[in-house]
Structure 1
Amino acid sequence: MRAVIQRVSEASCTVNQHIVGTIGQGFVVLLGIEEADGMDDLRWLAQKIANLRVFGDESGLMNKSLHDIQGNILLISQFTLFAQTKKGNRPSFIRAAKPDQAVSLYESMIAELSSLLDKNIATGIFGADMKISLVNDGPVTIIMDTKDKDNH
């Protein structure tokens, strides 16, 4: 599982010219799911996202989490995070999970983050052509991969 986490002051997701998800301060999380991913990966990544301390404290240091600032998440499924570009110019997405597996884990991630943060999670629509608008704050962008969870 891969996540690109962007600290934002605001963000929204539009599908067919209708806003389907919107947040103020918090994270836009682009989530890629591969076939090898399971609930252990999901729980590890959700904990990391919920507790990531990248918001400024009183001294201007990145020391506060979403909990501390009552921040929100806009979670967007993005299978293209598993693009393989080694050969040729057309990416291969062979490692990305098939939609039935990916949708289940995506929905589980929504529930896990909602539980950890005790609030609703804004989302896009799985598999839809989405337009994401955001104001990247900082900019601060963090990339996480559950393959790294066992590497100290």
Structure 2
Amino acid sequence: MKLLLQRVKNGAVHIAGQPVASIDAGLVVLVGFGKNDTEEMPSSAVWDALLQKMIGLRIFSDKQGKMNLSLKDTGNSLLLVPQFTLYADCRRGRRPSFTSACPPAIASKLFDSFVEHCKAELPDLVQCGVFGADMDVSLTNWGPVTMMLSSEDFI
């Protein structure tokens, strides 16, 4: 699993010109699953470690302007966007390969589970895009602050 975190002043998802989700200050997180991620992953220690790291990272400024507060500390929102292209392999040729991405049937279930786990941790603060949809994602990256979390780093 890969999570690309972006601290934002705002973020939104539209599908066919219609608003689907939006947040003010918080995190927009692109969520991708790899071919080694299985339906058992939500009950794993790695899953929980990634989730807790994401909501606990101290990347929001305190009153002194120091990055010292987490998403949980601030009460800011979370916008989750499914993103299989996080597993693109661009090493050969000019067309990316997506053979490292999780099959859609499994990835969809994993994304839904991740959304539910996030909602349990941050009630009323979680919005999400739609798995498999052609989405327009907009955001104002604040800082900019962008960080990658990967399950490979938590095994």
TM-score range, shorter chain: over 0.9
The equivalent residue for 2:6 is 6
Q: Structure 2: where are the runs of 5+ without partners?
A: none
Question: Residues 33 and 102 of structure 1 are in contact (CA less than 8 Å); yes or no, is this contact kept in structure 2?
Answer: yes
Report the Cα distance in structure 2 between the residues aligned to 1:104 and 1:46, rounded to whole angstroms.
16
Which amino acid is the alignment partner of residue 85 of structure 1? C
Q: How far apart, in 1, do the equivalents of 2:125 and 2:107 lie?
A: 20
Q: Does 2:150 align with 1:148?
A: no
State whether structure 2 residue 117 is matched by structure 1 residue 112: yes
Between 1:112-121 and 1:53-62, the stretch displaced more is 112-121
Unaligned runs of 5+ in 1: none
User: C-alpha offsets along residues 124-146 of structure 1, whole Å, 9 cap, x if unaligned?
Assistant: 11111101111110000011111
Contact (CA 8 Å) 2:30, 2:81: kept in 1 or not?
yes
Amino acid at match of 1:86: R
Give the secondary-structure state (helix, strand or coil) at the position aligned to 2:99: coil
| Distance across 2 between alignment mates of 1:33 and 1:89 | 22
Report the CA distance between 1:120 and its aligned residue. Answer: 4.4
Offset of residue 121 of structure 1: 1.6
Q: Does 1:125 align with 2:125?
A: no
Tell whether the 8 Å contact from 1:43 to 1:112 is kept in structure 2 after alignment: no
Count of equivalent residues: 150
Structure 1 position 89 matched with structure 2 position 94: yes
Counting only pairs closer than 5 Å after superposition, residues 38-57 of structure 1 correspond to structure 2 as 38-39=41-42, 40=44, 41-57=46-62
* Residue 22, structure 1, aligned to residue 27, structure 2: no
* Cα offset, 1:56, TM superposition: 0.2
What is the rounded CA distance, in whole Å, between the counterparts of 1:44 and 1:67 in structure 2? 15
Identical counterparts, % of pairs: 38
How far apart, CA to CA, are the structure 1 residues paired with 2:67 and 2:100? 34
Larger mean CA deviation between 112-121 and 46-55 belongs to 112-121
Instruction: Report deviation, 1:65.
Output: 0.7
The Cα RMSD (Å) is 1.0
1:65 has 2:67 as partner: no
Superposed CA deviations along residues 54-111 of structure 1, whole A, max 9, x for unmatched, are 0001111100011111111110000000001111111100010111100111001001
After the TM superposition, which parts of structure 1 deviate over 4 Å for at least 4 consecutive aligned residues? none
Give the TM-score taking structure 1 as reference length.
0.95
- In 2, are the aligned partners of 1:77 and 1:126 still within 8 Å (CA)? yes
